[in-house]
Amino acid sequence: MHVLVVGGAGYIGSHMVKYLARQGCRVTTLDNLSGGYRDAVLHGELVEGNVGDRALLSQLLAGHRFDAVMHFASFIQVGESVAQPSKYYRNNVTNTLTLLDAMVAANVKRFIFSSTAAIFGEPQSERIDEAHPRQPINPYGRSKLMVEQALADYDHAYGLKAVCLRYFNAAGADPEGELGERHEPETHLIPLVLQAASGRRPHISVYGQDYDTPDGTCIRDYVHINDLCQAHWLALQSLMLGGASRAYNLGNGNGFSVQQVIDAARRVTGREIAVQYAPRRAGDPARLVADARRATQALGWQPEFAELDTLIRHAWQWELKQQRGWPGEQPTNGQTLPI
Known catalytic residues are 140
Residue among 155, 135, 157 at smallest CA distance from 246: 155
Would you call 214 exposed, middle or buried from its count of C-beta atoms within 10 A (0-12, 13-18, 19+)?
A: exposed
Please provide the DSSP assignment of 201-243 as one string: SS-EEEE-S-SSSTTSS-EE-EEEHHHHHHHHHHHHHHHHTTP
SS3 per-residue string spanning 243-304: CCCEEEEECCCCCEEHHHHHHHHHHHHCCCCCEEEECCCCCCCCEECECCHHHHHHHCCCCC
Q: What is the DSSP letter of 175?
A: T
* Cα atoms in the Cβ-side hemisphere of radius 13 Å centred on 154: 26
The end-to-end CA distance of the chain, in Å, is 34
> 99-104, long-range: CB within 8 Å, 24+ apart, which pairs?
99/6, 99/51, 99/52, 99/57, 99/69, 99/71, 100/150, 100/151, 100/154, 100/160, 101/54, 102/54, 102/57, 102/58, 102/61, 103/61, 103/69, 103/160, 104/154, 104/158, 104/160
Taking the C-alpha atoms of residue 80 and residue 71, their distance in angstroms, rounded to an integer, is 21
Residue among 238, 219, 9 at smallest CA distance from 112: 238
Q: What is the DSSP letter of 188?
A: B
Q: What is the DSSP letter of 118?
A: G
Query: How far, in whole angstroms, is CA 35 from its chain's centroid?
Result: 13
